Amino acid sequence: MTVTYTSRVATTRFGGFSRLLLLWRGSIYKLLYRELLLFLTAYLVLSLAYRFLLSEAQKRLFEKLVLYCDKSANLIPVSFVLGFYVALVLERWWGQFRAVPAPDGLMLAVAGSVHGADARGRLLRRTLLRYGSLAALLVLRAVSSAARKRFPTADHLVQAGFLTRGERRRLEGLRSPHNQFWVPCVWFTALAAQARREGRVRDDSALKLLMEELNRFRGHCSLLFHYDWISVPLVYTQVVTIAVYTFFVTCLIGRQFLDPAQGYAGHELDLGVPVFTLLQFFFYVGWLKVAEQLINPFGEDDDDFETNTLIDRNFQVSMLAVDELYGEVPALERDRYWDAASPRVPYTAAAAPLRHPPFRGSACDITLAKEEMQFLPLEDIGETPESQLGNGDSPRGDKATLRDTPGGDSAPHEHWLLHPSADDMV
């Protein structure tokens, strides 16, 4: 289930984001604590071995290795490659969210274009929306593990009411190895054309609207399927992962505290625990874990998309719109402000302090002295420098000629060239 904290940050206040740090579900602590404990354990094991197990000669050799690793760690461009990667994954994540098919436009088009309050009209509308829901479900169960676990086979689609047994036989009879989410869209078009021939769809404009909404809906299904098919290039993910883990394997040795008595630069203090290295691990590896969670939001992580909830909502709302709500219009009544020339909506006591005067424009508050608001005769203002130039002259005295390019009559902004005069040549 998606972790929603929007209400907690609706109003800016002291320590607003700080309160979010105490949340566990969906937090970076839950994603990262295992890796952080492993890194800290490995660091402490090396530190204890250096202090208590190595001989003096071995310590000197280990100290040289520490200095070398500390210097070499700076050669790995972690922040550069990781920053670009996370930005790419975040853009892809948002694109996948926008590609999730929603039937709202399609159901409104069906409800307004397919007429008939009898059983036949009701059957047509419900079947059209069932085909749309089936197309979306065939895509979602192909890309989402949660939806796949809920509808693992075609039998489950039949039992859930998305598919009839006859339709299932037609799907299974198709000789195509590809995902069949497009098949219900074909059925939709055929049924809409049949409804047009029966007069349930009253004109070609209404049929065109149905086809446009269906094509838009199908486009979302196709885009979502292709997001699942075409991933971020594997080499990019490998480069980022290798860069991050190589950096911190190097830091396991390079960030060890050495004996201050040896006089190494930067090792005058022995804290035992590398506080800032742990913070660096928390930020960089945490950044990588964020990308790992966002790269496929159709899994079962805390912040992944709730595909099963979307399936429930979309199917229920679409059936309500074309069946129970079809042709149902509340009784027309005069609104509360029928006789008011300037209607004003009331405020509650809680909302009254939030009332503000209307915005009229940023320049409306400019004030001028009375003498500055008087129009001046044009004779007193004089002519602008541009108006004193001759015909065809530019402010610098340059001359230009327009020449039509060969090739026939075309748009002026595409085929007219500006050629400077000979006076401008050097």
pLDDT digits (tens, 9 = 90+) for 246-266: 999 999 999 999 989 888 888
Nearest-angstrom CA–CA distance, 154 and 158: 6
Residues 114, 128: contact at Cβ < 8 Å?
yes
Residue with more model confidence, 11 or 75? 75
pTM: 0.81
Give the chain's mean pLDDT: 89
Give residue 386's pLDDT.
66
Q: What average pLDDT does this structure show over 24-30?
A: 90
The band of 383, judged by pLDDT with boundaries at 50, 70 and 90, is confident
Residues 150, 307: contact at Cβ < 8 Å?
no
Q: What average pLDDT does this structure show over 128-132?
A: 97
Residue with more model confidence, 403 or 71? 71
Give residue 347's pLDDT.
94
By three-state DSSP, how is residue 74 classified?
helix
pLDDT at 10 over 90: no
Per-residue DSSP letter, 15: T
pLDDT at 28 over 60: yes
| Range with the poorest average pLDDT among 54-58, 136-140, 306-310, 418-422 | 418-422
pLDDT at 396 over 80: no
The band of 392, judged by pLDDT with boundaries at 50, 70 and 90, is low
Give residue 7's pLDDT.
84
The helix or strand, by DSSP H or E, that contains position 287, with its residue range, turns out to be helix 275-294
Nearest-angstrom CA–CA distance, 296 and 231: 9
Give residue 195's pLDDT.
97
How distant, in Å, are the alpha carbons of 64, 337, 338, 344, 346 from that of 341?
Answer: 86, 8, 8, 10, 15
Residue with more model confidence, 183 or 17? 183
The band of 406, judged by pLDDT with boundaries at 50, 70 and 90, is very low
Q: What is the pLDDT of residues 50-103, one digit of tens each?
A: 999 999 999 999 999 999 999 999 899 999 999 999 999 999 999 999 999 999
What b/e sequence results for 234-271 when a residue is b if at least 16 CB atoms lie within 10 Å of its CB, and e otherwise? eeebeebbebbeebbebbbbbbbbbeeeeeeeebeeee
Residue with more model confidence, 376 or 308? 308
The band of 3, judged by pLDDT with boundaries at 50, 70 and 90, is confident
The band of 13, judged by pLDDT with boundaries at 50, 70 and 90, is confident
Percent of the chain with pLDDT over 70: 90
pLDDT at 390 over 80: no
Give residue 221's pLDDT.
97
Give residue 5's pLDDT.
84
Residues 223, 99: contact at Cβ < 8 Å?
yes
Token pair belonging to 370: 């009375």
Nearest-angstrom CA–CA distance, 106 and 321: 10
Q: What average pLDDT does this structure show over 285-310?
A: 93
Q: How many CA atoms lie within 13 A of 102 on its CB side?
A: 9
The band of 379, judged by pLDDT with boundaries at 50, 70 and 90, is confident
Query: Phi, psi at residue 232, to the nearest 5°?
Result: -60, 135
pLDDT at 425 over 60: no
Nearest-angstrom CA–CA distance, 17 and 410: 59
Give residue 15's pLDDT.
83
Q: What is the pLDDT of residues 215-240, one digit of tens each?
A: 999 999 999 999 999 999 999 999 99
Give residue 1's pLDDT.
63
